[in-house]
């Protein structure tokens, strides 16, 4: 929706609730808008392909630090990280951010500073938690590579311009995205948020990553030690920020999952290589695999449920579009459109089908006065005294004036 509005210079990011403004997906989707309905599928292909790139990048980075076996462990740890697979399914930006940050780390090790900066810039346009990394890189590169200074200035300047400036111009509210996110995310302390973040990697991966960082510090292995310190520092900063009022959601920890997976691979390799005797090394590898297997199986068993849940959401949205398409010819032009509060995340489907701003889709419990009210309700919900404009397998579209609505709830007696 925002990609289509951006091309028409009619962007409206103040929609009274989720989602909050993020520049990167809108900038990537806008050129796909001429595809019409195909833009949705094109975005999913793009988001999933770039997200999947995180797997080979995790392998390359871990293998560079500790060998091919470490790369294999890193791939498994990332694939089983909580939220990573779901992000791929739903076309979220977090898997893309993980891939961009892993690619930036590899480019930095290859002394391709400009490429590394560009990849962190991409990540910064999707997750604000990456801004300090971008600023730190700019300061470091400013002194060491004067040729890149114009690019550094442009990169650092474009982030607040696209995040805050565009959202301010569109919504009329300064820091609108932060207000929207804070309104829809449940309140929790920084320690509670840290607990959720620590559950993103599988437990063995988290322990192996901690071991890798500590072992590298003792052995003075610079790269794994620095990577571990960076992950620990970022986790602490996010925890403190949430305690100070930053919108607390476990998705802020997802960009760290790629580096935790890499460190887990490094830690596994360090453990296996610690004994001198080849036979002991083989036994260590087998024991480590057996110890991690139950956790891997437990995470893998969640994937079919996640696939089924994603299909349920897809079926609901497809049927919602069908209901909107069938109801539109008979819908009053001045009608206010509403959804149940817990299904407001689906309003973009109606807005896309009807080519109207998302702000036109409101909540059922806040009906307008004196205008017809058009309700999209999941079956078998019903409202007495209202006329059905369309009925599909999962949805009913009802219309009437608010003063005539006598009851609303589940079932015919509701």
**272: how many CB neighbours lie within 10 A of its CB?**
23
* Residue appearing with tokens 């360090």: 270
Q: How far is CA 169 from the centre of its chain?
A: 24
- pLDDT per position as a tens digit, 166-200: 888 877 777 766 666 655 566 788 888 899 899 99
CB distance 324 to 335 below 8 Å: no
User: Confidence band (pLDDT; 50, 70, 90) for 410?
Assistant: very low
Question: Which residue did the predictor score with more confidence, 386 or 70?
Answer: 70
Q: Are β-strands 373-378 and 395-400 bridged in parallel, bridged antiparallel, or unpaired?
A: antiparallel
Residue 256, pLDDT above cutoff 50? yes
- pLDDT per position as a tens digit, 67-107: 999 999 999 999 999 989 999 999 999 999 999 999 999 99
- Using DSSP, state whether 249 is helix, strand or coil: coil
Q: pLDDT > 70: what percent of the chain? A: 91
Task: Provide the CB-side half-sphere exposure for 82 (13 A, CA).
Answer: 17
- pLDDT per position as a tens digit, 343-364: 888 888 898 888 888 878 887 7
**17 phi-psi bin (left φ>0, alpha ψ -120 to 50, beta other):** left
Best-predicted range by mean pLDDT (137-141, 240-244, 279-283): 137-141
User: Confidence band (pLDDT; 50, 70, 90) for 399?
Assistant: confident
The token duo for 199 is 């559950």
Residue 148, pLDDT above cutoff 60? yes
Give mean pLDDT, residues 378-403: 80
pLDDT at residue 237, rounded to an integer:
93
Q: pLDDT > 90: what percent of the chain? A: 54
| Burial status of residue 284 (CB atoms within 10 A of its CB: 0-12, 13-18, 19 or more) | middle
pLDDT at residue 357, rounded to an integer:
83
| Burial status of residue 220 (CB atoms within 10 A of its CB: 0-12, 13-18, 19 or more) | exposed
Alpha-carbon span 331 to 399, nearest angstrom? 8
Alpha-carbon span 53 to 119, nearest angstrom? 13
pLDDT at residue 387, rounded to an integer:
83
Angle subtended at Cα 46 by Cα 123 and Cα 201, rounded to the nearest 5 degrees:
55
Give mean pLDDT, residues 262-275: 92
Question: Lowest mean pLDDT: which of 11-15, 187-191, 197-201, 204-208?
Answer: 11-15
């Amino acid at each position: 929706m925002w990609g289509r509005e951006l091309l028409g210079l009619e962007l409206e990011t103040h929609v009274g609730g989720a989602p909050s403004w993020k520049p990167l997906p809108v900038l990537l989707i806008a050129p796909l808008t001429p595809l019409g309905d195909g833009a949705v599928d094109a975005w999913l292909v793009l988001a999933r392909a770039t997200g999947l790139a995180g797997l080979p990048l995790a392998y390359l980075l871990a293998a560079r630090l500790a060998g091919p076996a470490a790369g294999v462990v890193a791939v498994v740890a990332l694939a089983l990280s909580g939220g990573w697979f779901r992000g791929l399914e739903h076309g979220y930006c977090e898997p893309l951010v993980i891939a961009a940050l892993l690619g930036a780390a590899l480019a930095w090790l290859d002394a391709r500073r400009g490429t590394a900066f560009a990849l962190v810039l991409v990540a910064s346009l999707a997750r604000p938690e990456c801004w300090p990394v971008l600023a730190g890189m700019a300061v470091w590169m400013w002194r060491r590579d004067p040729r890149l200074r114009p690019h550094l200035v442009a990169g650092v300047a474009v982030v607040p311009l696209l995040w805050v400036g565009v959202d301010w111009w569109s919504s009329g509210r300064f820091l609108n995205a932060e207000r929207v996110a804070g309104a829809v995310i449940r309140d929790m302390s920084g320690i509670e948020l840290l607990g959720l973040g620590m559950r993103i990697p599988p437990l063995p991966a988290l322990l192996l990553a901690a071991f890798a960082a500590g072992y590298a510090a003792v052995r003075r292995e610079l790269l794994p030690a620095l990577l571990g310190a960076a992950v620990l520092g970022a986790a602490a900063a996010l925890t403190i920020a949430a305690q100070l009022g930053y919108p607390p959601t476990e998705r802020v920890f997802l960009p760290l999952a790629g580096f935790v997976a890499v460190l887990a691979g490094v830690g596994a390799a360090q453990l296996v290589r610690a004994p001198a005797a080849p036979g002991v090394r083989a036994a260590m590898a087998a024991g480590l695999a057996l110890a991690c297997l139950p956790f891997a199986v437990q995470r893998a068993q969640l994937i079919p449920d996640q696939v089924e849940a994603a299909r349920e959401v897809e079926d609901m949205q497809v049927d919602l579009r069908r209901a909107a398409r069938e109801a539109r010819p008979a819908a009053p032009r001045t009608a206010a459109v509403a959804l149940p509060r817990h299904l407001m995340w689906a309003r973009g489907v109606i807005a896309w089908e009807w080519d109207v701003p998302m702000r036109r889709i409101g909540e059922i419990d806040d009906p307008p006065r004196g205008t017809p009210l058009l309700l999209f309700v999941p079956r078998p919900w019903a409202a007495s005294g209202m006329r059905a404009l369309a009925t599909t397998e999962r949805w009913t579209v009802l219309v009437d004036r608010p003063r005539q609505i006598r009851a609303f709830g589940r079932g015919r007696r509701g």
